[in-house]
Amino acid sequence: MIISDKYTVEQKKDILKGYKKLLRALDKNVKPADKKNIRKAFEIAVDAHKDMIRKSGEPYIHHPIAVAQIVAEEIGLGPVSIISALLHDVVEDTEWTLEDIELEFDKTIANMVDGLTKIDSLTASSTSLQAESFRKIIFTLGDDIRVIIIKLADRLHNMRTLESMIERKQHKVASETLYLYAPLAHRLGLYAIKTELEDLSMKYTESKKYKEIAKKLNQKKKERDKFIKEFCDPISVELQKANLKARVYGRPKSIASIANKMKKKDVEFEEVYDLFAIRIVLDAPFEKERDDIWRAYSIVASKYTPNPNRLRDWVSNPKANGYESLHTTVMGPNGKWVEVQIRSERMETVAEKGLAAHWKYKEGKSADSNIDKAFESWLVEVREVLKNPETNPLDFLQDFRSNLFAQEIYVFTPKGDVKNIPKGSTALDFAFLIHTAVGSKCVGAKVNGKLVPLSHVLSNSDQIEILTSPKQKPNEDWLSFVVTSRAKSKIKQALKEERKIIADDGKELLARKLKSIKANFNGENVQFLTVYFDMETTLDLYYNIAIDKIDLLKLKNIPLERGNFVQPKPKKEVIIPEVKDEVHHLRESKPKSKKETTNIIEFGENGDNFAYEFAKCCEPIPGDDVIGFITVGGGVKIHRSNCKNVINSSAQYGYRIIKTSWKVKGDSSFLVQLRLKGTDDMGLISQITTIISKDYRVNIKGMNIETIDNVWVGYLKLFVKSDDQLEAIIKRLKKLNGIISVQRMEEDKEDVDADEVG
């Protein structure tokens, strides 16, 4: 094998080592012809990337090899996917074209590489580059799902090597990952990848909390291992007696999962009981899986008392992404609740590596028809959504993403057929799930025999009968309560068709008006008026003319030259500072407030100084991990790095992220809000204010308290100097008798305005 002399001897050795490792990960039954093509793809990639170096300083070729390794070993896809992974950056970054790829291999691989190639430029300046790129990736779901799986492998390796990037880039990539890639991995059943993506993202968006939880997990490892052994040994003995072959082991929960539990339940790390789960994986033939799983459950329940409210049966009713498992929570030794997951080896493979990897692309093996149908039904829904490609990329992405992490419920048709639908779905969502024509004509429904409106939210095990009328048609109000992407897409599509009919009338009105003022009815004038009246498309222009939202009398005020409208003087352009990969350049602005003159924040790699303000949505304080987001006006808003608003904006407008750090003077104070819950004890309120005002010498701005059924909820605003001081106050308050919970309020309101994101 010839490798370019552009590489050093040591680099050549490392590259060949990576290739040999990849070959060891191949399926034993791979054909010689496929091996030959994999070698050819490897050689093409090595040569094509010979002049490229990664930020880490290593040859770029290590990246495609690593992605191919993940695809082969961690996911289990075949030769076609491995070849595509090796070539996934060749067309984007080198002189190779898709036509070259097709000539060397075939059209399938060329199409897959095309799907993996990023979009280089955009035609609309208002469109988000990331959103457009995401939409292209999602569109590949309709044709070849392997593309999206390889893209996830690509993202996983980028996240694993993210430490070599500058801080701004780290936050951008981590935000994109949380925004779309982790939810996609979840929806495709790639739980191992989803979990790792979330953990790695948290490492860069909430680094302080990530390190804190990781440290505590490591400190408790010996204690945890001892407990797991004491719990598992008796079960293993009983399983063996029952002639059930099984692996019984403990698996720690991910750092991101633990952080979410701490936040959701408002508890400290020490109060999270399920830091790990016990897994029982049975070696059982397909036809005996369910029987053996329930037998194993019976053994667990005989040893440890189960919590009847914590039984989750995804064996009888698999999740839509194919996940199958029986989950129960039992009372273990020393009064500790323990989650136990029971599944077969086949279910374990699907749960860990993802349904898609073991679906129809797994060479030489047939998939379980029930899982195949469950996944195919979701793909049908995706394809329906993709039929409306003219949707604004950001709207499209939000609609698609909204269902990726949705919890599911099971409902029934009048004939008793089971349907999976996202939790929170309405009767109208169900109608569109049945058929587009049914949804479009839906006027109401009967749920469990009772008449309900279209907006009625469905519950688990409901039986639904849809009522229709030929006179019914979709209206914009429907979009305010449907939750599924399928329903939203179909309603928008129907509204757009109706809008086109109305717009035709507006087009005629405009043509007549232009004729009366001796202006040309041509593309140039129509485009001019679209911009003049601040419309996004010509369709919007015609539609708003038809419904009298645009006054055509204003056309007389626009000067004409030879029948064409004269271009107005250009508006003063708002310049967004140019952002480069290595250094973030910003034009300096004069401070506008006292906060800015105190110089408590510094920016960029060189400590630049310019106008900024703190985001109201997350109210950052010294000690918080923070990030700067450039607004259209040129100033910067300072967010907490884990703020949902800035994570979503970073995913869509990553080029506006700037490195930000604290440079706080001792006399600076910052407003935060706490949410407290406690028993109805008037003396408790006095203790709270005394601790805050006297013990910590912190000013209280205001407090609002509501009491319901002997439990009060209070919202307390106070000025603190740092997160350390705030944390000390919260811990002290939690120790008071009668206090149920104390939580810092965050991200409960939007703070990303139109003038901020553009």
pLDDT digits (tens, 9 = 90+) for 134-164: 666 666 665 677 888 898 999 999 999 999 8
* CATH number for the domain running over 670-744: 3.30.70.260
590 pLDDT more than 60: no
Residue 371 has which token pair?
Answer: 């899982």
The reported pLDDT for the residue numbered 695 is: 85
- At the top level of CATH, which class does the domain 215-358 belong to? alpha beta
651 pLDDT more than 90: no
Residues of the chain with CATH 3.30.460.10: 215-358
Q: Judging by beta carbons within 10 Å of its beta carbon (0-12, 13-18, 19+), is residue 365 exposed, middle or buried? A: exposed
Residues of the chain with CATH 3.30.70.260: 670-744
The one catalytic residue in 51, 92, 271, 376 is: 92
Task: Return the higher-pLDDT residue of 370 and 542.
Answer: 542
The reported pLDDT for the residue numbered 240 is: 94
Rounded to an integer, the average pLDDT of 675-684 is 79
- Decide if 582 is catalytic: no
Q: Which residue has the tokens 């997951």?
A: 341
Q: Percent of the chain scored above 90 by pLDDT?
A: 28
- Rounded-to-integer distance, Cα 177 and Cα 190, Å: 14
Instruction: Using a cut of 0.95, tell me whether the model's pTM lies above it.
Output: no
The reported pLDDT for the residue numbered 568 is: 55
Where is 259: in which H helix or E strand?
Answer: helix 255-265
Least confident of 206-215, 297-306, 314-323, 478-487: 314-323
Q: Which residue has the tokens 């449907």?
A: 482
Rounded to an integer, the average pLDDT of 684-693 is 86
- Rounded-to-integer distance, Cα 98 and Cα 104, Å: 10
Q: Which residue has the tokens 């918080």?
A: 624
57 pLDDT more than 90: no
Distances (CA, A) of 136 to 120, 158, 250, 753: 12, 19, 40, 26
171 pLDDT more than 80: yes
CA atoms within 13 A on the CB side of 694: 6
585 pLDDT more than 50: no
Q: Which residues are bridge partners to 603 per DSSP?
A: 608, 660
Least confident of 324-338, 396-410, 723-737: 396-410
Residue 106 has which token pair?
Answer: 């075939």
The reported pLDDT for the residue numbered 281 is: 96
| 689 CB-near residues (< 8 Å, 6+ apart) | 700, 703
Which of the listed ranges 75-84, 316-325, 561-570 does the model predict with the highest average pLDDT? Answer: 75-84
Residue pair 186/148 in contact (Cβ under 8 Å)? The answer is no
Task: Return the higher-pLDDT residue of 400 and 365.
Answer: 400
In the structure, what pLDDT confidence band is assigned to residue 604 with cuts at 50, 70 and 90? low
Rounded to an integer, the average pLDDT of 494-512 is 88
Residue 445 has which token pair?
Answer: 């429904």
Q: If you write DSSP's letter for every residue of 557-609 in order, what string do you get?
A: GS-EETTEEPPPPPPPPPPPPPB-SS-B--------SHHHHTT-EEETTTTB-
The reported pLDDT for the residue numbered 589 is: 36
Hey, what amino acid is at 541? Answer: L
- Rounded-to-integer distance, Cα 130 and Cα 180, Å: 10
426 pLDDT more than 90: yes
394 pLDDT more than 70: no
Least confident of 380-384, 470-474, 507-511: 380-384
Residue pair 553/545 in contact (Cβ under 8 Å)? The answer is no
Q: How far apart are the first and last CA of the chain?
A: 52
Domain 9-212 has CATH 3.40.50.300: no
- Rounded-to-integer distance, Cα 447 and Cα 757, Å: 43
Best CA proximity match to 197, nearest among 143, 139, 146, 155? 155
581 pLDDT more than 90: no
| 116 CB-near residues (< 8 Å, 6+ apart) | 84, 88, 89, 147, 150, 151, 154
Residues of the chain with CATH 1.10.3210.10: 9-212
- Rounded-to-integer distance, Cα 245 and Cα 285, Å: 11
The reported pLDDT for the residue numbered 123 is: 35
> 305-306 and 326-331: which strand pairing?
antiparallel
Q: Sign of dihedral through CA atoms 282, 284, 286, 292? A: negative
Rounded to an integer, the average pLDDT of 373-401 is 61
256 pLDDT more than 70: yes
pLDDT tens for 432-444 read 989 989 999 999 9
The reported pLDDT for the residue numbered 748 is: 46
- Rounded-to-integer distance, Cα 353 and Cα 523, Å: 53
Q: Which residue has the tokens 């793809």?
A: 41
The reported pLDDT for the residue numbered 295 is: 96
pLDDT tens for 609-623 read 667 888 888 888 888
169 pLDDT more than 90: no
The reported pLDDT for the residue numbered 685 is: 82
The one catalytic residue in 43, 93, 104, 605 is: 93
255 pLDDT more than 60: yes
Least confident of 67-81, 134-148, 262-276: 134-148
In the structure, what pLDDT confidence band is assigned to residue 396 with cuts at 50, 70 and 90? low
Mean pLDDT of the chain: 81
Residue 347 has which token pair?
Answer: 């279910």
The reported pLDDT for the residue numbered 142 is: 57
The reported pLDDT for the residue numbered 567 is: 63
Rounded to an integer, the average pLDDT of 87-94 is 88
> 636-640 and 626-630: which strand pairing?
antiparallel
The rounded radius of gyration (Å) of the Cα atoms in the chain is 29
Q: If you write DSSP's letter for every residue of 413-457 in order, what string do you get?
A: -TT--EEEEETT-BHHHHHHHH-HHHHHTEEEEEETTEEE-TTPB
- Decide if 92 is catalytic: yes
Q: If you write DSSP's letter for every residue of 515-539 in order, what string do you get?
A: HHTT---SHHHHHHHHHHTT-SSHH
709 pLDDT more than 80: no
Which of the listed ranges 404-418, 431-445, 637-651 does the model predict with the highest average pLDDT? Answer: 431-445
